[in-house]
Amino acid sequence: MFAPFRLRGMTLRNRIVVSPMATYSAADGTPNDFHLMHYGERALGGAGLVFTEMTCVTPEGRISPGCTGMYSPDHVMAWRRIVDFVHQRSPARICLQLGHSGGKGSTQLGWETIDAPLPDNNWPLMAASAVPWTSSNQVPRAMTRADMDGVREAFVDATHKAVEAGFDMIELHAAHGYLLSSFITPLTNRRTDDYGGTLENRLRYPLEIFAAMRAAWPDDRPMSVRISATDWADRGVDGAESVEIARAFSAAGADLIDVSAGQTWADAKPVYGRMFQTPYSDRIRNVAGLATMAVGNITDHDQANGILAAGRADLVALGRPHLIDPHWTLRAAAAQDYRAQWVPPQYLNGMAQLARLIAREAEMRAADLKV
């Protein structure tokens, strides 16, 4: 996990990633002091790469009223403040994840009733087809070509703004049932035009968005795409099809496939467990020969090292562990007695003490075993 990794002109000091996680804490799309503290502290915590939460390219593309955006000059200034802190105070790199909620938008904050519509002031939704997330959710309108052109230009504009804000990398969110995912999965894509039916057709619009973003993003900076590698539902995307999806995005210029799964169909039957999504990363990496990032219930450094050493992924992203412990990577370095890990100079004494305490505990356990 402490080996460096390079994507185009960006070199990461280690393979640990702070996964994108919605915090529902913005006002009118603008990140604030919470986001500065949240992302800044995780950069100080030693991870090689920090992802933002899904940041939406239009006001109507937000999941909730608390979601961050990149469609206003105010957003650029606010994100620039965060990016500058990360760059000035740590060696971490920072990636902006861009997305559009599609038919899963206009919902309550994550700690309220999840995926439920707002009690009032809902905004209109659009998706690949007029298929609601559940019977309780708003029915989105099927996108017209004019809608598709407008959303594509919003993604391109957000990409230009990401350059202005100084991000090292951007990711396109094409997973979890949001707008672009609604095109990819046949469960929600009921179109009968050139954007529905075969996988090639279902990928046509997401690839169009990605190609337009890649053209607007500097050549020396990497791009990734997050996919749902399975719908966990009959007649949905499966692991074999996910390899073809990954290959298509790679051919369009993706440098990394962020391999998630599910959240595309309300009646899906996911199979949870330790490292439950890693097999999909493994398959894409070793069948398609692409760089991947594993994510999903990865919680300790032994798991991370095992995934990387076995060649199942190139990067390992941890979400919930970083929510409760922003210094997860520093603790992992201390536990493995890895002294070359960067530590904020202000925290060096704490790191030294932690390493001593962990070593002492290991010695005591070993002595107990001998007895």
- Return mean pLDDT, the chain: 97
Whether 293 contacts 256, CB under 8 Å: yes
Residue 116 CB neighbours (<10 A) = 13
pLDDT, mean of residues 152-178: 98
Residue 362 CB neighbours (<10 A) = 12
Q: pLDDT band at residue 362, thresholds of 50, 70 and 90?
A: confident
Q: Extract the tokens encoding 371.
A: 């007895």
pLDDT tops 80 at residue 258: yes
Which CATH superfamily is 5-341 part of? Aldolase class I (3.20.20.70)
Percent of the chain with pLDDT over 90: 96
pLDDT in tens, 263-298: 999 999 999 999 999 999 999 999 999 999 999 999
pLDDT tops 70 at residue 371: no
Q: Which of 157, 148, 203 is nearest to 56 (CA)?
A: 157
Q: For residue 229, how many C-alpha atoms fall within 13 Å in the half-sphere facing its CB?
A: 25
pLDDT tops 90 at residue 139: yes
Q: Considering just the CA atoms, what is the radius of gyration of the chain in Å? A: 21
Q: pLDDT band at residue 73, thresholds of 50, 70 and 90?
A: very high
Element (DSSP H or E) covering residue 212:
helix 199-216
Q: At what angle are helices 73-89 and 33-44 packed, to 10 degrees?
A: 30
Report pTM.
Answer: 0.96
Q: Which residues contact 266 (CB under 8 A, 6 or more apart)?
A: 115, 133, 134
Element (DSSP H or E) covering residue 93:
strand 93-99
The domain ranges of the chain are 5-341
Among 24, 39, 71, 178, which one carries the catalytic annotation?
178
User: Rounded to whole angstroms, how far apart are CA atoms 108 and 257?
Assistant: 29
pLDDT tops 90 at residue 107: yes
Q: pLDDT band at residue 365, thresholds of 50, 70 and 90?
A: confident
Whether 61 contacts 123, CB under 8 Å: no
Bridge-partner residues for 30, per DSSP?
Answer: 27
Q: pLDDT band at residue 229, thresholds of 50, 70 and 90?
A: very high
Residue 183 CB neighbours (<10 A) = 28
Residue 199 CB neighbours (<10 A) = 14
Lowest mean pLDDT among 20-24, 57-61, 358-362: 358-362
Q: What is the pLDDT of residue 31?
A: 98
Lowest mean pLDDT among 41-55, 178-192, 239-253, 351-365: 351-365
Read off φ and ψ for residue 288, nearest 5 degrees. Answer: -90, -15
Q: What is the DSSP string of 54-76?
A: PEESSGGG-SSTT--B-SSHHHH
Concerning whether 195 is annotated as a catalytic residue, the answer is: no
Q: What is the pLDDT of residue 370?
A: 77
Q: At what angle are helices 145-165 and 199-216 packed, to 10 degrees?
A: 40
User: Rounded to whole angstroms, how far apart are CA atoms 244 and 190?
Assistant: 20
User: Rounded to whole angstroms, how far apart are CA atoms 314 and 61?
Assistant: 31
Q: What is the pLDDT of residue 367?
A: 84
User: Rounded to whole angstroms, how far apart are CA atoms 300 and 304?
Assistant: 7
